[in-house]
Amino acid sequence: MNHEELLQELEMRKTKARAQGGPEKIQRQHDRGRLTARERLDKLLDPGSFVEFGLLAYSEWPGMEEKTPTDGLIMGYGRIGGRRIAISANDFTVMASTNAKINLRKLLQFKTQVGKLGIPYIHLGEAGGARMPDCQGSARMFELGGGGTDTLWAEYVHLREQPYIFAAMGECYGVADFQACVADFVVQVKGSAIAVSGPRALGRAIGQTYTGEEMGGWKVHSKVTGMTDQVAEDEEHCFDIIRKYLDYMPDNCNQLPSARPVPEGSEERMAKILDFLPEKNTRVYDMHKIVRCIVDGGEYLELKPAFGAMVITCLARIDGYVVGIQASNPLVNVGSTDTDALEKSMSFMCLCDSYNIPLIFMNDTPGHMTGREAEVKRVGSRVVNQIQALMQVTVPKITINIRKNYGQAMINTCSLGSGHDFLVAWPTAEIGFMDPAIAADVVYGSLPEEERRELVEKMQSDTSPYPAAGSYWLQDVISPYDTRKYLINVLDIVRNSETRGMSRHLLGNWPKKF
């Protein structure tokens, strides 16, 4: 062949590869209300920015070359808002993007390369499990493992060295499910499913007939397992969530997140902050409203909002700089934390510590939920695991006691001996071993009512923040109206320190899911 013929052949091969599974498979994808992998890349990435790797790859199974363009996995580098990212997308129009030797080889080599480059990585998931008969047989099974002793490292190990975002766009079984389990942040489109095995394989293997949504739909993973951090109404909403999350993240663990201009009016909300805190300490309220008063523009991105909902975990900005906020929400179980909330807290602290995001704790909790059900869910080990993670957090930890903070929960909320850098309280704070009304019943329940009342009042006064401030256990008691100003000042102190607030990344390999 001459040069022109060789170039024509090259273009023909690339054109055929970009055609994915062909018009019929593409139409089938559209009929399900879903975009194809290439359409998703076009929607998410800056126009013309995608640089593809592995376009000419195909299955090594005899006779499958023409039927498996890219072997069902599209990957490369692009930009989002001008920022360089790595991205891979399962192409469901090609063999349901099932996992086979070439498909997996591409994923492993690509993730290894991305780790060396230290840039954010996004995976758009929609895939079946293992491809049969490609993976059947002892020799082929070992080939699926990459052919070496530790060749699956890139698939299953994520040390939180660069942000990893997983988006469930459709059915995500097998490898796709495991990637969701490894990722830092999971967004799930309604109608998608994340599960180890698909319904067809499950039915044949053990006779169960659950649908993908019943096993791993958005309600399961956002409310029960906590795997899903955000739920998207549709694919366009999913891309918006990815962009928003990415804006809070640095490129890698060796950088600080980027600052942004402070929106106008960010100070004005502080004048209403006490409008949302009841004067009676027995009344519940929504802590989200207080958080909105404090953060820039009243905007934040909440992670796992429906899981362990008595604890709020969110990314936000204060004075233009990224912060992570963990706040009690008395609107749910009066703020008493269950095992889901403790696991949610661990996950959030690991995320913030790995990506150099200072943590702010806003506390109003009477303690941990106890009893037989809690013990069955291993509440004791969850309490201690969360403390172990908290003790290893090395980004700045700023604690504000809003109202109740009792007993063991004081350790878990970074108020007592668990490594706080800055610790203050509002004058509304109540601090002690337990609620003073309950404590009075335990200690003085048998006394005459008049004598008992005086002792109860004394016990209640002891829980005010002033005795602790007088002994310098608290660094200060601040007006609620000064909370934003206080946070701006201490965050500025941190940024101008020797470390600039950078973490030592001790939690990089803490489990991603629980």
Give per-residue pLDDT as tens, 251-290. 999 999 999 999 999 999 999 999 999 999 889 999 999 9
Distance separating alpha carbons of residues 172 and 92, to the nearest angstrom? 10
Is there a single domain that holds both residue 472 and residue 330?
yes
Mean confidence (pLDDT) of the chain? 92
Pairing status of strand 73-80 against strand 185-189? unpaired
Whether the per-residue pLDDT at 207 is higher than 70: the answer is no
Distances 429 to 40, 69, 144, 325, 334 between C-alpha atoms, Å: 49, 62, 57, 18, 15
* Planar angle of CA 69, 70, 76, nearest 5 degrees: 145
Which H or E run contains 169?
A: strand 164-173
Whether the per-residue pLDDT at 210 is higher than 60: the answer is yes
pLDDT of residue 446: 60
pLDDT band at 340 (very low <50, low <70, confident <90, very high): very high
Is there a single domain that holds both residue 323 and residue 417?
yes
pLDDT of residue 197: 79
Beta bridge partners of 425: 401, 477
In 208-338, which ranges are continuous DSSP H helix?
A: 212-216, 218-219, 235-248, 287-294
pLDDT band at 142 (very low <50, low <70, confident <90, very high): confident
Q: Where is pLDDT greater, at 449 or 136?
A: 136
Give per-residue pLDDT as tens, 33-63. 999 999 999 999 999 999 999 999 999 888 8
pLDDT of residue 483: 98
274 falls within a domain: yes
Distance of CA 46 to the CA centre of its chain: 24
Distances 39 to 20, 29, 506 between C-alpha atoms, Å: 11, 11, 39
512 falls within a domain: no
Is there a single domain that holds both residue 443 and residue 413?
no
Is there a single domain that holds both residue 79 and residue 167?
yes
Whether the per-residue pLDDT at 390 is higher than 70: the answer is yes
Distance separating alpha carbons of residues 443 and 425, to the nearest angstrom? 27
Environment class of 244 (CB within 10 Å of its CB; exposed 0-12, middle 13-18, buried 19+): middle
Whether the per-residue pLDDT at 202 is higher than 60: the answer is no
Is there a single domain that holds both residue 331 and residue 353?
yes
Domain at 73, CATH number: 3.90.226.10
Whether the per-residue pLDDT at 437 is higher than 70: the answer is no
pLDDT band at 25 (very low <50, low <70, confident <90, very high): very high
Average pLDDT over residues 322-345: 96
162 falls within a domain: yes
Is there a single domain that holds both residue 221 and residue 307?
no
204 falls within a domain: yes
Q: Do 248 and 301 contact (CB within 8 A), yes or no?
A: yes
255 falls within a domain: no
Is there a single domain that holds both residue 232 and residue 162?
yes
Is there a single domain that holds both residue 441 and residue 415?
no
51 falls within a domain: yes
pLDDT of residue 370: 84
| Range(s) of the domain holding residue 456 | 434-463
488 falls within a domain: yes
Whether the per-residue pLDDT at 123 is higher than 60: the answer is yes
pLDDT of residue 134: 75
% of residues, the chain, pLDDT over 70: 93
Q: How many domains would you assign to the chain?
A: 3
Ranges 61-65, 246-250, 495-499: which has the least confidence: 61-65
Q: Do 388 and 510 contact (CB within 8 A), yes or no?
A: no
Is there a single domain that holds both residue 106 and residue 81?
yes
Average pLDDT over residues 429-452: 66
DSSP conformation class of 345: H
Q: Is the dihedral of CA 404, 409, 415, 421 positive or negative?
A: negative
pLDDT of residue 140: 77
With a CB cutoff of 8 Å and minimum separation 6, the contacts of 365 are 310, 328, 330, 335, 336, 337, 404, 405, 406, 409, 413
Is there a single domain that holds both residue 97 and residue 224?
yes
Is there a single domain that holds both residue 199 and residue 281?
no
Average pLDDT over residues 72-81: 98
Whether the per-residue pLDDT at 352 is higher than 90: the answer is yes
135 falls within a domain: yes
Is there a single domain that holds both residue 161 and residue 215?
yes
Distances 168 to 98, 145, 272, 500, 510 between C-alpha atoms, Å: 15, 24, 39, 36, 23
